[in-house]
Amino acid sequence: MNQSNILENRFPGRRAALKREILEQALYCFNELGLEATTIDAIKARCDTSVGAIYHHFGNKEGILSALFFAAQDDQRHRLEQELAGANSLREAVYSIIWSYLDWVVDNPEWARFLYQARSPVAKGPFQEELTNRNIQNYRKLKERLISFGNDDIKIIQPFEMLFSLIIGPSENYCRAWLSGRVKTSPQEYRKEFAESVWRSLQS
């Protein structure tokens, strides 16, 4: 049972019920068994439907993968934009990015886990271009938002392409470790420390 409503937001209505069900069970299978080890048959069995229905909705296995991936990514980005909208300085913006990221992962661990492992396959599959476009788009928007605050209150010495890695890198690495069980403490416990550390790292 998924407490979040990522699927309901993206595929609303009664008629999409089976579509959502397939995606939900596929998400479970992918996370539990791994991408390659998950068979259409396994998904079919878990939601008690037919191969015909699955292929009707998604075309092929990659279609399921991509649908899940983009749903998750959009939800994550949506959260980011909400948080970022309230920021009134570069410092607040950096904090927003980090906190919204950590919060989202903690709120949607299964989706986050999937997002990490599905990126490479999606990046190579038939949705390659769509993914690239989205990334460029998101990247540009974020850049403009950050630049909008100006550099006055603090000198940001790093080039921009590096800046993004400095901001999100530590949180991302920790979340991966947490989702894989390598570390036990919830990322949320370190919210403050992550944001402050990053902010320190940005001072010239």
Position 39 contacts a second copy (CB under 8 A): no
**Using N-to-C axis directions, what is the helix angle for 40-47 and 17-33, rounded to 10°?**
130
Residues 6+ apart with CB under 8 A from 113: 31, 179
Considering the complex, what minimum distance in angstroms separates the CB of residue 126 from DNA?
10
Residues 13-32 that bind DNA (CB under 7 A): 14-19
Alpha-carbon distance of 95 to 87, in angstroms, equals 9
User: Structure tokens of 31?
Assistant: 């996370």
Q: How many residues bind a second copy (CB under 8 A)?
A: 44
Contact predicate 1/83, CB 8 Å: no
Contact predicate 150/158, CB 8 Å: no
Residues 57, 79, 113, 145: which binds DNA (CB under 7 A)? 57
Alpha-carbon distance of 178 to 146, in angstroms, equals 28
Considering the complex, what minimum distance in angstroms separates the CB of residue 116 from DNA?
21
Residues 81-120 that bind a second copy (CB under 8 A): 116-117, 120
Give the residue with the Cβ less far from DNA, 58 or 174.
Answer: 58
Residues 6+ apart with CB under 8 A from 16: none
Residue with tokens 């397939």: 22
Position 16 contacts a second copy (CB under 8 A): no
Torsion over CA: 71, 72, 75, 77 (sign): negative
Position 133 contacts a second copy (CB under 8 A): no
> Residue 154 binds what, of DNA, a second copy, none (CB under 5 to 8 Å, by partner type)?
none
Residues 160-199 that bind a second copy (CB under 8 A): 161-162, 164-166, 168-174, 177, 180, 182-185, 190, 193-194, 197-198
Position 35 contacts a second copy (CB under 8 A): yes
Alpha-carbon distance of 119 to 26, in angstroms, equals 16
Binding site for DNA (CB under 7 A): 14-19, 38-41, 49-53, 55-57, 59-62
Binding site for a second copy (CB under 8 A): 33-37, 116-117, 120-121, 123-125, 135, 139, 157-159, 161-162, 164-166, 168-174, 177, 180, 182-185, 190, 193-194, 197-198, 200-203
